Amino acid sequence: MRLMRALVTLAVLLTAWHALVWATGLPRFILPGPLAVADALQRNAGLLAQHAATTLSEILVGLALGVLLGTASAILLASVRGARRWLMPLLVVSQAIPVFALAPLLVLWLGYGMASKIAMATLVIYFPVTTALFDGLRRTEPGWLDLARTMGASGASTLWHIRLPAALPALASGIRVAAAVAPIGAVIGEWVGSSSGLGYLMLHANARMQVDLLFAALFVLGAFAVALYAATDALLRRALPWLPDSHAFDEKD
Amino acid sequence: MHARVLPAGVPAPVSVTIASARLTYGGAPLFEDLSLRLEPAAVTCLLGPSGVGKTTLLRLIAGLTDLEPPTTVTAGDGLPLAGRVAYMAQQDLLLPWLSVLDNVLLGAKLRGERRSPALVDEAHGLLERVGLPGRAGDRPAALSGGQRQRVALARTLVERRPVVLMDEPFSALDAITRLRLQELAAELLAGRTVLLVTHDPLEALRIGHFVHVMSGGPAVVGAALEPPGVPPRAPDDAAVLAMQGELLRRLAG
């Protein structure tokens, strides 16, 4: 049913797009119609696949690194009082600097290769993961903590066996957000300076007035973002089977 | 009525004395120079209006609240009370991601103790005695409120602590489930020193050996009512009904 609805929406949007191009008679190099984009997608499949592979690896490595670093930071913040006092302001201030403004610097430091894009993706993923998990760790049901204390649990044991599992749904929300923003980080990095990747391909196509190819690359990127979100969501739901369904499903519908 | 079996492996009964208890909250004393004695191997019930400080008093004994001088909490044998107290709250405090069995054995897990086959057998035995045979592998979400509180009771008992502190453990349950659980608790807690905080005069008179009323501001604990006969007493027991009137008068102040 949900798939059906999505298909209907897609069909309506494509028709409207086609009608707009047909009615206004916009030239192909300003706004290509859906058929032209489909044609470009098919003609350049090999090229697109090659560049998509670069972008996808940047996204996946960035996601893994960002989630790992974010998780470690949140645990540190939640378990060491001193860390919270010193690092929390730093973390908040660091978010005041737009990460995208750092992209040229990262390219300068880490080069035109994948490293600067991975760093970029990691940076945009790090903050939502850290704050989501840290919030989750701070909001443990107080009764559980009382129970653990009367049972003679150490702080580390309470963290590992109670606070961390209880915060996993919060971490899952953070990872879902991260999965949605990860492609943005990678593409911005590619725009600033690179020799491959979908972002690079888009810039290149734009400069040569191949707007249909630009749209085709955009389409692949969009498909990645949706697939990544869906995969993350499915994976997280499988990892947290004890979570009531209303939590997992209602966000999507 | 069930046969009275003293659970094996319960430590020697110990009395607990709270003396000169003092607690100030927002500048005003909640109670001052308050004393209460929990007789060894007996159920002491504490009734009183909401906000009088019953739960706070229980938390003082549990070591969940810092003692305000000159408050003292001492055990009859002169040894420290820490590590000899089990706690049961109004909420069942079951961890939703653990199975029923893992919840019962939470204490051992939190203290990093090895899960011996003997301990697992004991947990299964206790689950059977609280009326949940064959449910060890279920998640808490699959159980009803009464069943969940039964699991909490098993978790409290498996700890083998000589002192058990219960804070309105049955107040969220329906009338019939509550009566059954009171019976079960009275039977299984025999031999332990129990403090039961409750709002329900009938509950106190059914399963208490000593019933105190806490009232006033600053609060004091009144002299004990000692219902005759062995708990659990029948709800329509003549002595219970007669004392209920007296108890309600004391509660009304």
Q: Is residue A83 part of a domain?
A: yes
Provide the domain count of chain A. Answer: 1
Q: Cβ separation of A147 and B89 shorter than 8 Å?
A: yes
Does residue A142 have a cis bond before it (omega within 30 degrees)? no
Q: Cβ separation of B95 and A143 shorter than 8 Å?
A: no
| Per-residue pLDDT tens digits of chain B, which is 253 residues long | 343 444 555 678 888 888 888 888 777 888 888 888 888 888 999 988 888 888 888 888 888 888 888 888 888 887 888 888 999 988 899 999 999 999 999 988 999 888 889 889 988 988 988 888 888 888 998 888 888 988 998 999 888 888 999 998 888 888 888 888 888 888 888 888 999 999 888 888 888 889 888 887 788 788 878 888 888 888 888 888 888 888 888 888 7
Q: Cβ separation of A150 and B64 shorter than 8 Å?
A: yes
User: What b-and-e string marks burial along A27-53, b requiring 16 or more CB atoms within 10 Å of the CB?
Assistant: eeeebbbbebbbebbeebeeebeebbe
C-alpha–C-alpha distance, residues A63 and A125, integer Å: 7
Residue spans of alpha helices (H) in chain B: 54-62, 100-104, 106-110, 117-129, 145-158, 175-188, 201-207, 238-252
Residue among A148, A150, A166 whose CB faces B86 most closely: A150
Q: Give the CATH number for residue A214.
A: 1.10.3720.10
Range(s) of the domain holding residue A155: 31-250
Nearest CA in chain B to A167: B97
Q: Is B66 on the interface with A (CB under 8 A)?
A: no
Helix (H, G, I), strand (E, B) or coil at B68: coil
Nearest CA in chain A to B86: A150
Pairing of strands B85-88, B163-167: parallel
Q: Is residue A79 part of a domain?
A: yes
Residue among A146, A161, A244 whose CB faces B141 most closely: A244
Q: Is residue A235 part of a domain?
A: yes
Q: Is residue A5 part of a domain?
A: no
Question: What is the 3-class SS of A104-137, one letter each residue?
Answer: HHHHHHHCCCHHHHHHHHHHHHHHHHHHHHHHHH
Q: Are B131 and A172 in contact (CB under 8 A)?
A: no
Q: Which domains, from first to last, does chain B contain? A: 16-84+161-252 (3.40.50.300), 95-160 (no CATH)
Once rounded to an integer, what is the mean pLDDT over residues A4-26?
Answer: 89
Once rounded to an integer, what is the mean pLDDT over residues A210-237?
Answer: 88
Q: Is B142 on the interface with A (CB under 8 A)?
A: no
Q: Cβ separation of A152 and B87 shorter than 8 Å?
A: no
Question: How many percent of chain B have pLDDT more than 90?
Answer: 13
Residue among B62, B82, B93 whose CB faces A144 most closely: B93
Q: In chain B, which residues have their Cβ closer than 8 Å to the Cβ of A162?
A: 95, 110
Amino acid at B177: T
- Among chain A, residues having any CB pair with chain B shorter than 8 Å are 141, 143-144, 146-153, 157-158, 161-162, 165-166, 168, 240, 242-244
Q: Is residue A226 part of a domain?
A: yes
Q: Is residue A219 part of a domain?
A: yes
Q: Is residue A48 part of a domain?
A: yes
| Pairs from B227-231 (Cβ < 8 Å, separation ≥ 24) | B230/B4, B231/B43, B231/B186, B231/B206, B231/B207
Q: Across chain A, what does the average pLDDT equal?
A: 86
Contacts of A132 (CB under 8 A, 6+ apart): A74, A170, A171, A173, A174, A175, A177
C-alpha–C-alpha distance, residues A5 and A14, integer Å: 14
